[in-house]
Amino acid sequence: MLSPITDTEHTLDILLPSRPLEPAVPAPLIAAADNWSAAVWAEAVRLGPLDLTGRQLGQGMELARRPVYICGVHRSGTTLLRNILDGHPNLIVLPSEGTFYTVLESKLRALPPGKQISFLGREWVRRLANPTNQPPYWLLGRSAGPNSPYVNFARYFMAWWRVMDHKKIPQAPHIAVVLAYATCTGTLHAKHWVDKTPANERYLKRIWKEMPDARIIHMIRDPTTILNSRKVMEPSLNVRAVLNDMKMSLNTGVKQSQLNDTRYILVRYEDLCNEPLTMLENLASFLDIPVTASLNVPTVADLPVKANSVFANLSPAGKILKPQQHRQHDALTTAEHTQLAAYVSRPAEKLNYPTVQISSSQRFGILLKHALPRLLPYLRRQFPRYLHP
């Protein structure tokens, strides 16, 4: 029965890019991934959920309570940290961004209950084959003969979906994904499961309400470098949206650092790259796991990955580059440097990141100018006699 799977898998494999895709994914690749995941899911439905042993159930329910969320804005180093933690024997690290709170939860709610499991199952089947549109691919191996590891994942996902209490546990669909992946990889015994999703720092209150034992690793990086990197890589970048995200993330970092919550740690990208041994010892202590040799080699699903910069593609896999080893040219205009300072200078300085110096009146003027397009509709409704188009 694997012929439709292996045929569509071969078609998908041919289309997988050898280099990172920026910015859009080609339609033929999307179609091939959809066809393959449909074939995998259909076979999993035909065979039905795999049985879970009592030992697996006990380990899974214990593991489910101990998540680690890596968060921070895009380009802040979240991927590097995830890849560093990937090979640790006490951790089960999702090889693709979790995106439950940021993307998938709202999509699931928009679907009829009967279609939610197939949507999420097929989504994660695709992510396990192609997590980031760049190597490595096929993180569970390739389908061959009578067996497909992706069918097994889908069947374990069905099994854990049935076990979870979806009414009491809002994250139940996502936890079913985690436990299915852990079951397939033989890591249900792990101490923590790790989810890397940029912008999850928006949801800290909710995360801790739903998962009181959750650990948060919040990555921060020089704001100028982040904005510059995103502008270079994303030609259609919405600068104001990025600035708002950075402001939120840095303010969260300042606030949480002052609370001394033992479930939270703030990690500077520059320190992680320049002083990896010290930072990894701190992280190991934070997670209560031993320091192992695996922490020195970034991987995804135990497969070597490119260096921690899209600007250093010729660097060997499994290497941590220092910031000065992948410098970027300054793509920001004078106006963008000023806007950056207006948005983030206050929290950035508290976290020891310098920005362009501007006056309070400049800062107020820029923020007011940017806020007006959102405020005008409200003001026109409140004062129609004085403000009209």
Structure confidence by residue, pLDDT tens digits, 107-138: 999 999 999 999 999 999 999 999 988 899 99
Please give the backbone phi and psi of residue 235, each rounded to the nearest 5 degrees, phi first. Answer: -60, -30
Q: Could you give the 3-state DSSP secondary structure of residue 92?
A: strand
Beta bridge partners of 91: 192
- Tell me how far CA of residue 350 lies from CA of 197, 221, 282, 377, in angstroms: 24, 13, 21, 35
- Tell me how far CA of residue 79 lies from CA of 66, 202, 297, 298, 303, in angstroms: 20, 18, 13, 10, 14
Q: What is the distance, to the nearest Å, from the Cα of residue 45 to the centroid of all Cα atoms in its chain? A: 28
Measured CA to CA, the distance from residue 343 to residue 355 in angstroms comes to 10
Mean pLDDT value of segment 152-176 = 96
Residues in CB range of 330: below 8 A, 6 or more apart: 228
Contact 192, 215 (CB under 8 A): yes
| pLDDT beyond 70 at 313 | no
Q: Which pLDDT score is estimated for 207?
A: 97
Beta bridge partners of 303: 300
- Tell me how far CA of residue 76 lies from CA of 86, 120, 149, 224, in angstroms: 18, 27, 33, 11
181 versus 328: the higher-pLDDT residue is: 181
Lowest mean pLDDT across 136-145, 250-259, 332-341, 365-374: 365-374
Contact 115, 1 (CB under 8 A): no
- Domains detected in the chain: 3-221+262-326 (3.40.50), 334-382 (no CATH)
**Structural tokens at position 48:** 């039905």
**Total number of residues shown for the chain:** 389
| pLDDT beyond 50 at 312 | no
| pLDDT beyond 60 at 378 | no
Structure confidence by residue, pLDDT tens digits, 264-302: 999 999 999 999 999 999 999 999 999 999 888 899 999
